[in-house]
Structure 1
Amino acid sequence: MKTRKWSFLLEDYKRLMEALGAIPSVEIEPLPRGVIQVFSALFEGSQTWTSEVPEADLSSIDPSLTRRLMPFQRDGVNFAVSKDGRLLLADDMGLGKTVQAICIAAYYRKEWPLLVVAPSSVRFTWAEAFRQWLPSVQPDSINVIVKGKDNLRGGLVNITSYDLLSRMDKQQAAKPFNVLIMDESHFLKNMKTARFKAALPLLKVAKRVILLSGTPAMSRPSELYSQILAVKPSLFPRFHDFGTRYCNARQLPWGWDYSGSGNLGELKLMLEESLMLRRLKSEVLSQLPAKQRKVVTVTTDGINTRTKAALSAAAKELAKGQHNNNDKMKQALLVFFNHTAEAKIKAIIEYIMDMLECGREKFLVFAHHKLVLDSITKELGENGIDYIRIDGSTPSSERQQLCDRFQFTDKSCVAVLSITAANMGITLHSAALVVFAELFWNPGIMIQAEDRVHRIGQTSNVDIHYLVAKGTADDYLWPMIQEKMHILEQVGLSESNLSEKAESASFHCKDSQQRRITEMFQRSFTEGEDDMDEALLLEAVEAWDNPSNQPGSDVEESPSKKRRIEDYFGR
């Protein structure tokens, strides 16, 4: 059977339907009501495809924010305002959806309090982002929900997770939020989940709904429906109508199957006209730095009592400032460093799993302590996620095979790497994201680690995420790294300054105790450093973390290495 297709302009739609209706025995399937609603201005000829989005007046928003918006980010804010603050911002990962969302929400500040719902691992990152980008918001008016009994409306800016929201249904009924930000909104794709059922009542009554997702499921339209319903429920009030048109719905003996797709070009046009804005990195590459660094503030709330006590004791021991011997001071600092690793494990794993759920298929995770590396690979293995691991125990002969496996696989894969053992000599540029699960006091080593992906052959800009936990050694390592990075930039040895060009958290020494510990880190790991001193320090840290050196172990370091470490600490 031969078929033919003809193309008609949208403004001719009415005349076309009238002409076809006058022909006898012709079956006509009109466009869905939602499509006609979206393109009504084009049907009537009052708007053209080239109509520009008007420039929004952002004079009421903190200038420190608006001045730093890239042109495409400013366009995103304009688009949102033109849609009355109801949109799906579906920019590619790494294009600054967070800062755009904060600016959009700030435009409607008179309608606050604001609610931000995000994956659990980035709640505190959102709090830091508001402190950084909107200095006019008092820090004590930012309310991060950490347990189900917390007050959902306890601040001007309220931040919770999807899972916590599902436990707070009684509080939701009290008073609605007018402005909502739903980060990683594809978490709502399944309408049968507790997440969606908890969010729906809030979405129904909110005036402004800002959905953020770097992975809109265009190839599986059924997963988009819940987000369309959240932003513009009048488009397709009934899922079956949407499924019939765009999911190639089929009636099977056991019910309807909506797993397919159809009319995707029409769906894309309709979404872009009505509620969705999506830019790819390739489209705005000229506006982006080659490397973008971002601080992700994580919490240590999930640590057990023993680890919490050990971390606190290590900090108090350092705060006494009674270490006259610099080597003894280093030993105390390494204890603090090790307890920080234990305290961060739960948050690290949560962040990695969130990245995978958000659609990040390939990325690198750098850590130092064996305990952290083991915990990450254990979690990935239990969830059936492919990974490679390179650390100090990986034979040189196997490294290239592991790198090739990562480089050429089409599946999701995580490269779990030791900061000190895999920071040079390997190429993994098939990924464009690097996650530092732990910090290291030598920024040169961290830059080398970043450059496993940022090198010749990389066709995209690279995102670098640093996981930083307050109340740990990170409080003192991070400012030190920022300062060192700034010095490297001034002499042309670093492409960007962590403190200025990253979405960075601010870690200031609030009291004499913090200042004293920071000074100890500075003195211990910066003064009088040479290559040999650095090498010995790395050996010392690795030895400290090696279970084989614990009492009762049958395995010990070689005599020469053990002697070097003991000499280093002056034992």
Structure 2
Amino acid sequence: MAEATRTYGVCRYVSDGTRHQWSLEGIEPHVAIRLKQLFPKIPKQSAGPFLLPADLISAADIDWFMSRYPLRISAADRRQLEIDKTGFVERQDHLENILLPTFKADAMTGLREGQQLRNYQAQAVEVLRYRKSLLLGDEGGLGKTFVAAAFLCSVPGTLPAAVVCDAHMQIQWLEKVTGFTHLRVHCIQKTRPYALPPADVYVFRISQIMGWADIFATDFFRTVVYDEPQSLRTGASTAKGAAAKVLTQHTEYHLGLTATPIYNYGVEMWNVMRFIDETVLGEYDDFMREWADSYGRIAHPKALGSYLREQHVLLRRLKSDVGQELPKVSRIIEYVDYDEKAVRSVEDLAMALAIKATTGSFTERGSAVRELDIMVRQATGVAKAKAVAQFARLLVEAGESVLLVGWHRAVYAIWQEALSDLEPAMYTGSESAAKKNHEKDRFLNGETSVLIMSLRSGAGLDGLQHRCSVVVFGELDWSPGIHQQVIWRVDREGQQSPVTVFFLVVEDGSDGPIMEILGLKASEAHQIVDPFTGPESTDRDTARFQALVQRYLNRSSGAQKNVQKKAGVKPHTKALEQQDLQQLLDG
């Protein structure tokens, strides 16, 4: 007579009609310890029952766990577990077959005569068709927009579709989709619903969607495409995030297009994925337990990147992967002269704010940190603005067309005055979408050799590679993703010259701390998005702006005492803690 198999607890399938879970109950203590090690989403302090989502990947993991620690399970629940585990295996096999080099797609329908999709783009279409949710993270210039257009015109049941993009991208979407396919496109004109004309694709500016939430809830749209979904990295707590959440919930297909899903730190990926596939990273508390360290940072970014790829929810190819590798971009850090008076003019107030950032009330500290950042960054930009303009002029005189990048209006004003004879085009946050397109055309048509662009206006912009191969960053951003988005405007297919990027910096002000932080952020984002492309520095900072605060706290003790006296605060040397500062910055 065969000996009964030893079991260590019970596994049950539980459902309340809307939420389906696996409940692991009565697990023996030593097995429970092992279970929590293997499933970090289970709270360490939980005594059971232990709940896991009833999705395909959980079924595969539970089945694997039960092969080592058998659990009692009913025949009906065992069948459910087997069905889901088999579904997981079949899905993985099918998706991996799609991504094999030998994959050949069927001919795409709905494309205009003479247009065709490349094989790697067709693979993305097939992954989305099968999986229904995809974050397409292909490197800039590999045609993510064309993938979206081909998917919509060739896959039945995907129309009508909603495209959500930045304001300056609305016309580009219209031109690219209608030039590549026979789809009818309508650009949404208002922030409130109106009678929509017949169309296949409706293009929304992201600032418009909060007024259309009620229409989204009617299931009118079958597909949503988020162009640069990192714009939603603050999650559903904002009006636009809440509207996007409704749109995702009431559409069948979800596609995100971005090569830089992370602008700051890796935890932003959770918010971004909620609009693409909310099941893949689970609930926020589970995600933080499973992936984050005690500072709220991703503990193992490469592992997270690998996991997202294994689930085929993140698909990313580099130019080198598809035979389009361009010459490597030359990145040059150049120290320039600056007006010391401009930096010194804010010195006393900057030190007072730095002190208040470590000594004031919670509200005062938050306000002080933000004000310090704004004030010192602008003062730094103004201090070097004339030298930056002169640098750009020298490049133009040498025969180059220049993309000159900044952030503050006061800096733009100095550049415009210094370069007035060159009549620079303006593509910043101050122009309307129509004006931006007009200014871009002036640059592309050769009417001017300088395009002044805002750091955060570059995402998705196409065409500059045909006119320009030189980028000059006259001001820096805290996020490395912002810089990379700008560089990809010229480092893309169609570029005929090696791309050179100049970062013009000064010894004082905010440039030093920002460059230090950029190294850290780039490391974490790189490991998540490109976990297999080699090691990078992983030195950790302690806070986003702590270096900037510390720079002014480290001024001479005599100066600090004078400022403390003027500010009416008591001397205090406590360092600004990471968690406190992040809370302050988040408001």
Q: How high is the TM-score relative to the length of structure 2?
A: 0.45
